[in-house]
């Protein structure tokens, strides 16, 4: 793909873009959007293999975490929590809080000469998700720092049986992960559980208590929501702002647009810049896929035990599906029926992320108010990569606000 047509900011060094379907031993790499959808929609034929799911001990948990459960158990869990993130619920119940939170944090930021956007986005996304989950007993900035500390992990390789780590790296992972998780539980999760046992509320923790989840079960679920709802949204807010701040016509279009059009712009940005770049599945039954990824009828069979790497960045830029110049921003680009405007950024099938509406809405609320203040970008962010979530990190985007 020619460099001059790409508007991507997050380009991972050494990451292949071809072929669309690749097999290396018992590892499949899927870069075709139709084939990726086939894999993700192969209900009960795969199990979760990403986010180190296969290394999480399940014997001590009475309820499997929603992120790593599969089959009827996962379907039941998902149907029960989906109501907290449904588009109508986000619009009716949470929108006023999103607006209040965004305006309050921006007003606080205006007291400084410059602001760090990724820090602002972190505190905003943590507060928004924490309120829905029920983690409301402690100040957000301290909770944010505890969550950030958890993700300071050594490199890993999901495709290797030992995750590609040395013994020293495993020890480092334990120290870096367990201490922040213990602090997160003691400072944030346990107080929230105790409060909800005394005074139930309409939030996720109250729901989990009613379902009979233990404190350990609830802790694992809260870490899951922290990963999906707080950390990745932080990165997308920063990425979307970066694109808008460097593209004046797009920013003006965004500011002049109604909510529906602003959402369309954000969906196109997140298609191009998915915060999570890879989804992994382990086949437990044979899966027939389009072997060339071009719909010509040639089939390939993924066998039980094979590891499947669904390459989201490449699938989202599959020209055969999303059209010409797939690495350019083109809001409302024509897409085939059934293809989400965000591509596969939020997944597909049984494990599709239920938080798409929340992530887009909270980003739109904050960025609309930020851009209205006519910010000037003082420094570009540094692009890094997080091995645990297979996604980009953006640090150091500093702004000054005119209003």
Three-state SS annotation for 279-347: EEEEECCCEEEECCCCCCCCEEEECCCCEEEEEHHHHHCCHHHHCCCCCCCCCCCCCCCCCCCCCCCCC
Write down the pLDDT at residue 245. 97
Residue 235: pLDDT band with limits 50, 70, 90: very high
Backbone angles phi, psi at 97, to 5 degrees: -70, -40
Residue 173: pLDDT band with limits 50, 70, 90: confident
Strands 27-30 and 307-311: parallel
What integer is the mean pLDDT of 137-155? 84
Write down the pLDDT at residue 1. 45
Write down the pLDDT at residue 389. 79
What is the pLDDT of the chain when averaged over all its residues?
88
Residue 292: pLDDT band with limits 50, 70, 90: low
**Number of residues assigned to the chain:** 403
pLDDT tens readout for residues 29-73? 999 999 999 999 998 899 887 766 666 666 555 566 666 666 666
Residue 290: pLDDT band with limits 50, 70, 90: confident
Query: How big, in percent rounded to 5, are the helix, strand and coil portions of the chain?
Result: 50, 10, 40
Residue 375, classed as helix, strand or coil, is coil
Beta carbons of 191 and 222 less than 8 angstroms apart: no
Residue 287, classed as helix, strand or coil, is strand
Does 337 score more than 50 pLDDT?
A: yes
Here the tokens at position 119 are 């820090």
pLDDT tens readout for residues 181-197? 899 999 999 999 999 99
Backbone angles phi, psi at 110, to 5 degrees: -70, -15
Write down the pLDDT at residue 76. 72
DSSP annotation of 32: -
Domain that holds residue 327: 3-400
Question: How far, in Å, CA of 392 to CA of 198, rounded?
Answer: 40
Write down the pLDDT at residue 2. 43
Does 228 score more than 80 pLDDT?
A: no
Does 152 score more than 50 pLDDT?
A: yes
Residue 163: pLDDT band with limits 50, 70, 90: confident
Neighbours of 178 (CB within 10 A): 11
Question: How far, in Å, CA of 152 to CA of 136, rounded?
Answer: 24
Lowest mean pLDDT among 22-36, 54-68, 101-115, 165-179: 54-68
What integer is the mean pLDDT of 235-260? 97
Write down the pLDDT at residue 336. 94
Who has greater pLDDT, 249 or 86? Answer: 249
The total domain count for the chain is 1
Beta carbons of 234 and 289 less than 8 angstroms apart: no
Write down the pLDDT at residue 189. 95
Write down the pLDDT at residue 60. 59
Q: Which residues pair with 21 in a beta bridge?
A: 30
Write down the pLDDT at residue 69. 63
Residue 24: pLDDT band with limits 50, 70, 90: very high
How big is the chain by its Cα radius of gyration, in Å? 21
CATH number, residue 300: 1.10.630.10
Residue 98: pLDDT band with limits 50, 70, 90: very high
* Predicted structure pTM score: 0.92
- Residue matched to tokens 């647009």: 257
């Amino acid at each position: 793909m020619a460099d001059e047509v790409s508007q991507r900011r997050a380009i991972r060094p050494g990451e292949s873009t071809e072929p669309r379907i690749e097999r290396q031993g018992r590892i499949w790499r899927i870069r075709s959007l139709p084939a990726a959808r086939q894999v993700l929609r192969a209900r009960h034929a795969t199990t979760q293999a990403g986010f180190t799911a296969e290394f999480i001990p399940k014997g001590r948990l009475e309820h499997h975490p929603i992120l790593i459960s599969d089959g009827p158990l996962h379907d039941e869990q998902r149907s029960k929590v989906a109501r907290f993130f449904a588009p109508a619920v986000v619009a009716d119940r949470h929108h006023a809080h999103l607006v209040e939170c965004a305006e309050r944090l921006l007003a606080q930021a205006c007291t400084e000469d410059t602001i760090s956007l990724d820090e602002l986005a972190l505190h905003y996304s943590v507060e928004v998700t924490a309120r829905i989950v029920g983690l409301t007993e402690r100040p957000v900035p301290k909770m944010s720092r505890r969550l950030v500390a958890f993700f300071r992990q050594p490199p890993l390789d999901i495709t290797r049986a030992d995750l590609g780590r040395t013994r020293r790296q495993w020890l480092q992972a334990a120290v870096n992960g367990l201490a922040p998780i213990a602090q997160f539980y003691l400072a944030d999760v346990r107080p929230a559980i105790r409060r909800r046992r005394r005074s139930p509320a309409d939030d996720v923790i109250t729901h989990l208590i009613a379902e009979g989840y233990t404190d350990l079960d609830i802790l694992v679920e809260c870490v899951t929501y922290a990963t999906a709802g707080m950390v990745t949204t932080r990165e997308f807010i920063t990425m979307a702002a970066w694109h808008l701040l460097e593209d004046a016509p797009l920013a003006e279009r965004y500011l002049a647009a109604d909510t529906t059009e602003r959402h369309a712009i954000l969906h196109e940005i997140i298609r191009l810049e998915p915060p999570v770049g890879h989804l992994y599945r382990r086949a437990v039954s044979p899966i027939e896929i389009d072997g060339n990824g071009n719909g010509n009828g040639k089939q390939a069979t993924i066998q039980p035990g094979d590891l499947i790497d669904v390459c989201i960045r490449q699938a989202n830029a599959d020209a055969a599906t999303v059209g010409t110049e797939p690495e350019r921003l083109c809001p409302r680009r024509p897409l085939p029926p059934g293809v989400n405007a965000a591509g596969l950024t939020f997944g597909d099938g049984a494990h599709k992320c239920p938080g798409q509406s929340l992530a887009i809405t909270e980003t739109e609320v904050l960025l609309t108010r930020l851009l209205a203040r006519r910010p000037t970008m003082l420094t570009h962010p540094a692009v890094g990569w997080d091995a645990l979530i297979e996604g980009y990190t953006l640090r150091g985007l500093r702004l000054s606000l005119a209003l």
